[in-house]
Chain A
Amino acid sequence: MDEILLVGNPNSGKTTLYNALTRSNEHIGNWHGVTVEEKKKLMKVGESNFLLVDTPGLYSLTPLSFEEEVSFKIIEKGNYKKIINICDRNNLQRNLYLSLCLLEEDLDIVIAINEIDKKVKFKVDEKKLSTLLGCDVFLINAEKKINIAKLKESLLKEKKTYSLPYLKKIDFEKVKNYFKNKSEKEKQIFAIKAYEKNENFFKLKGFSDEEIKIIFSLVPENSLEILTEARYAFLDEIIEKSCQKVDFTYGKSKLDKILLNKYLALPLFLVIIAFIFFLTFFSLGAFLSDLLSSFLNLLSSPILSWLKGVLGGNWIYYLFSDAIFNGLSTVLSFLPQVVLLFFFLSLLEDSGYMSRIAFTFEDILGKVGLSGKSIYTLLMGFGCSTTAIMTARNMDNKNSKIKTALLCPYMSCSAKIPIYTVIGGAFFGVSNIFVIMGLYLLGVVVAILVSLVLDKTILKSDNQTFILEFPPYRLTSFKRLKNILKNNVKTFLVKVGSIMIAMNIIVFLLSSFTFKLQFVLDGSGSILESIGKFLAPVFEPLGFNNWAIVSALLAGLVAKEVVVSSIAMFNGIDFNATKLISSSILLSTSVVYFPSTASVLSFLVFCLLYTPCLASISMMKAEIGTKWTVIGIIIELIVAYILSFIVYNIALSIEVFGFLPTFLVILVIILVVISFALIYRVIKHKKCPHNCQNCHRNCGK
């Protein structure tokens, strides 16, 4: 089946058009790198069928970032019928720069000028522009599906002959002579690529480094400047002739005076995030979760009674009641909170605020070896680590990409919400709001510290670039809001209905049968108890050596929600006490046992920081390779163990000796560490071969 490529600048509306052309529901956003890999879907044009390929955004045909390279390779591979080049009308000149690059390669393209904003800022005469460029040009609105039919019809037309007069003013002859055996058309394209000094292009065409060096020596030193200036001069000319220009700056907003204010930007961001978390966990989200929980209890009670009547008290009944009903309903009741979190993150993504956050955070993140762009990936990590890791492709530096991907799991993902709410809520009651906020903050602090250590040791970030376009602020449409909710509910239900059912059944069978395949009701002597008891001593220093908790942690390696569903399965959770009240949810019949609140805190910290779920691990492997994935997991396990140990001992000390003595001991330890560090510095500098004893931080020799 013939393929049609969808190509354009970042954030020009490619995926919106892809959704309109294929009736899909792919994720979109108001940020420059939401699509980071190619997507394909069937598109009908009259009687013909095509595969429409959505590609990551790019500014030209010389890729600088990983996601641009994906698009570049697809375009240069050439196995397609036509290209739809989408351009944002309100930033048309810059968008048309890519169109010129495509036309110069004599690719079969049709230009779709997307009218994203309702207000017409820039009137375009599509017919005049089409005559000036020589290819079909259509004004469309991808979101409202205006002129989509016309655009589709044009895909069946034959390729046109383009007119690019500015190329005649550049002397390509010398370099053209190098490609004697090529056709005239190829000579022209190769000569342009030589002027672009486009190494990627020549490498893709099989030229050796030596040949590329010779080719580049045949063009003037400032060849790229000559070509770019010619392109922009031509763009100035055609914009002048075909567009009615209005004095307006794309992305400029009065809101930025407040949101980008030097002193307000950071506090405002923190207030917005705190408000999102408050709504998700403690007001709207908690209310909806309680409501759903009550509904699920109401629904499951008669079914379970009926099942007990039919099946009696055999293991199949317990499989249904413990693994499927109890286990899944615990997790299912968190559907509103998880969906709300994704909903707010999507609103942030759509609003155009992400680029502003990246700008605000570049100062801070630059100091720990990250880029401001990392903030997008890290914020997405609060939703789902797996998809967040993929967005690390936005980084234009390999080390930054690896570092950003490695830090994603430290951001507390939505799958951990049930753990914090059920376990934390049971032991800390209304104060759990501070425990949850503390856990989120701890994740961020640990990520910063890990990044700092990686930056100073194995992942130094040299030549970090930060060039980011500012999109305009946009309000999310009702249709999009509906889609966000629908998609997230669907994703959550599919996860519960597939991987979680499977895991719950496995955990149930392992915890209900002995090695001799005898059924046991309370888990004693079960396979899981043996495994849990074998591993439990490892967790003794962290305050939880109970086999059931250790087993729940093991099951959580597959998906974090399984930690809570496993505890529920071990008959651990009293469903009437899952609200934020200060009573225990752990039933007396439960095999799950936390000896103190210190051990609960330690358990929560361990859950926050230990190995991410299987889906995240496989995504990490695909994005940053096996070596860095293994390194990342080892670091996570070490960090989780050490921090849980510290938290457990501090909390235990507060429980036993009170707050003030514990605080004083910690203060003394910190002072001792600082003193040792200072002494080490003095000794190190005394040994300095350059004898610069008072060099302080300026030695560097």
Chain B
Amino acid sequence: MMPLTNGKLNIPYKIKDISGENKKVVRRFLELGIIKGQAIKILNTSILKKVFLVEIRGYILSVKADLLSYILVEKM
């Protein structure tokens, strides 16, 4: 298990857990369909790798790296 921010581009990962300090963000992740067992893929990162583009449930989200590290994943 690793934070999604350590993942590689265009490789699908399976979400194992979502936890972090900011409970509002965890809530928003869940509401957006980022839940355990779901597949997630990194599509791109910004130049300083502070923001990531991820594909989840057939749509794209841009998320700050420190928030994305709340999502723990493993290879599918």
**What is the interface of chain A, defined by CB distance below 8 A to chain B?**
59-60, 62, 64, 91, 93-94, 97, 197, 224-225, 228-229, 232, 248-252, 256, 260, 262-263, 265-266, 355, 358-360, 362-363, 366, 372, 463-470
Do B25 and A359 touch (CB < 8 A)? no
- Distance in angstroms between the alpha carbons of A263 and B59 in the assembled complex: 25
From A93, A97, A260, A463, give the contact of B53 (CB < 8 A). Answer: A260
Do B62 and A465 touch (CB < 8 A)? no
Interface string of B22-51 (1 = CB under 8 A from A): 101101111111011000000111111011
- Distance in angstroms between the alpha carbons of A470 and B43 in the assembled complex: 12
Do A94 and B62 touch (CB < 8 A)? no
**B8 proximal to A (CB < 8 A):** no
Which B7-24 residues have a C-beta within 8 angstroms of A? 18, 22, 24
In the complex, chain B residues whose CB is within 8 Å of the CB of A266: 47
> Given A360-B46, A466-B62, A467-B63, is A252 in contact with B28 using a C-beta cutoff of 8 Å?
no
11 A–B contacts, CB within 8 A, in A order = A59-B32, A225-B36, A260-B53, A265-B47, A362-B64, A372-B62, A465-B25, A468-B61, A468-B63, A470-B53, A470-B62
In the complex, chain B residues whose CB is within 8 Å of the CB of A62: 27, 31
Of all chain B residues, which has the CB nearest A250?
B59
**Complex A-B, nearest 9 residue pairs according to Cβ-Cβ distance, in ascending order:** A470-B60, A250-B59, A466-B64, A228-B30, A363-B48, A251-B60, A359-B62, A362-B51, A60-B31
In the complex, chain A residues whose CB is within 8 Å of the CB of B18: 225
From B31, B59, B62, give the contact of A228 (CB < 8 A). Answer: B31
Of all chain B residues, which has the CB nearest A253?
B60
In the complex, chain A residues whose CB is within 8 Å of the CB of B31: 59-60, 62, 97, 228
**B57 proximal to A (CB < 8 A):** yes
In the complex, chain B residues whose CB is within 8 Å of the CB of A463: 22
Do B59 and A91 touch (CB < 8 A)? yes
Do A93 and B57 touch (CB < 8 A)? yes
- Distance in angstroms between the alpha carbons of A251 and B43 in the assembled complex: 12
Do A229 and B36 touch (CB < 8 A)? yes
- Distance in angstroms between the alpha carbons of A596 and B36 in the assembled complex: 69
Of all chain B residues, which has the CB nearest A260?
B44
Most buried by B among A252, A263, A265, A358: A252
In the complex, chain B residues whose CB is within 8 Å of the CB of A469: 59-61
From B29, B45, B51, B57, give the contact of A372 (CB < 8 A). Answer: B51
In the complex, chain A residues whose CB is within 8 Å of the CB of B73: none
- Distance in angstroms between the alpha carbons of A416 and B37 in the assembled complex: 54
Most buried by B among A93, A363, A469: A363
From B35, B44, B51, B57, give the contact of A466 (CB < 8 A). Answer: B51
Most buried by A among B30, B36, B50, B60: B60
From B29, B35, B36, B51, give the contact of A359 (CB < 8 A). Answer: B51
- Distance in angstroms between the alpha carbons of A20 and B31 in the assembled complex: 30
In the complex, chain A residues whose CB is within 8 Å of the CB of B55: 249, 252
From B36, B57, B67, give the contact of A467 (CB < 8 A). Answer: B67
How close is A648's CB to chain B, nearest CB, in angstroms? 38
How close is B9's CB to chain A, nearest CB, in angstroms? 12
- Distance in angstroms between the alpha carbons of A59 and B31 in the assembled complex: 7
Do A232 and B35 touch (CB < 8 A)? yes
- Distance in angstroms between the alpha carbons of A355 and B62 in the assembled complex: 9
In the complex, chain A residues whose CB is within 8 Å of the CB of B29: 467
Known: A252-B55, A467-B63, A470-B62. 17 other contacts (CB 8 A): A60-B31, A64-B28, A91-B59, A224-B30, A228-B30, A228-B31, A229-B36, A251-B60, A359-B62, A362-B46, A362-B62, A362-B64, A372-B62, A466-B51, A466-B64, A467-B67, A469-B59
How close is B37's CB to chain A, nearest CB, in angstroms? 8
Do A250 and B33 touch (CB < 8 A)? no
> Given A94-B59, A249-B55, A260-B53, is A466 in contact with B32 using a C-beta cutoff of 8 Å?
no
In the complex, chain A residues whose CB is within 8 Å of the CB of B47: 262-263, 265-266, 363
In the complex, chain A residues whose CB is within 8 Å of the CB of B51: 359, 362-363, 372, 466
> Given A249-B55, A249-B58, is A467 in contact with B25 using a C-beta cutoff of 8 Å?
yes
> Given A64-B24, A262-B47, is A359 in contact with B53 using a C-beta cutoff of 8 Å?
yes
Do B61 and A228 touch (CB < 8 A)? no
In the complex, chain A residues whose CB is within 8 Å of the CB of B36: 225, 229
How close is A230's CB to chain B, nearest CB, in angstroms? 10
Of all chain B residues, which has the CB nearest A257?
B44
From B24, B32, B53, B67, give the contact of A94 (CB < 8 A). Answer: B32
How close is A466's CB to chain B, nearest CB, in angstroms? 4
- Distance in angstroms between the alpha carbons of A207 and B50 in the assembled complex: 40
How close is B21's CB to chain A, nearest CB, in angstroms? 8
> Given A359-B53, A467-B63, is A225 in contact with B35 using a C-beta cutoff of 8 Å?
yes
- Distance in angstroms between the alpha carbons of A60 and B31 in the assembled complex: 7
- Distance in angstroms between the alpha carbons of A265 and B44 in the assembled complex: 12
- Distance in angstroms between the alpha carbons of A248 and B48 in the assembled complex: 29
In the complex, chain B residues whose CB is within 8 Å of the CB of A358: 62
In the complex, chain B residues whose CB is within 8 Å of the CB of A360: 46
- Distance in angstroms between the alpha carbons of A84 and B28 in the assembled complex: 23
From A59, A248, A470, give the contact of B28 (CB < 8 A). Answer: A59
- Distance in angstroms between the alpha carbons of A464 and B65 in the assembled complex: 11
- Distance in angstroms between the alpha carbons of A35 and B34 in the assembled complex: 26
Do B46 and A251 touch (CB < 8 A)? no
In the complex, chain A residues whose CB is within 8 Å of the CB of B59: 91, 94, 249-251, 469-470
How close is B5's CB to chain A, nearest CB, in angstroms? 14
In the complex, chain A residues whose CB is within 8 Å of the CB of B35: 225, 228-229, 232
Do A97 and B33 touch (CB < 8 A)? yes
> Given A60-B31, A94-B57, A260-B44, is A468 in contact with B50 using a C-beta cutoff of 8 Å?
no
> Given A359-B46, A366-B50, is A466 in contact with B63 using a C-beta cutoff of 8 Å?
yes
- Distance in angstroms between the alpha carbons of A523 and B67 in the assembled complex: 63
Do B61 and A252 touch (CB < 8 A)? no
How close is A284's CB to chain B, nearest CB, in angstroms? 33
From A225, A359, A363, A464, give the contact of B30 (CB < 8 A). Answer: A225
In the complex, chain A residues whose CB is within 8 Å of the CB of B64: 362, 366, 464-467
- Distance in angstroms between the alpha carbons of A364 and B43 in the assembled complex: 20
Most buried by B among A91, A256, A465: A465
- Distance in angstroms between the alpha carbons of A392 and B62 in the assembled complex: 19
How close is A174's CB to chain B, nearest CB, in angstroms? 22
- Distance in angstroms between the alpha carbons of A658 and B11 in the assembled complex: 60
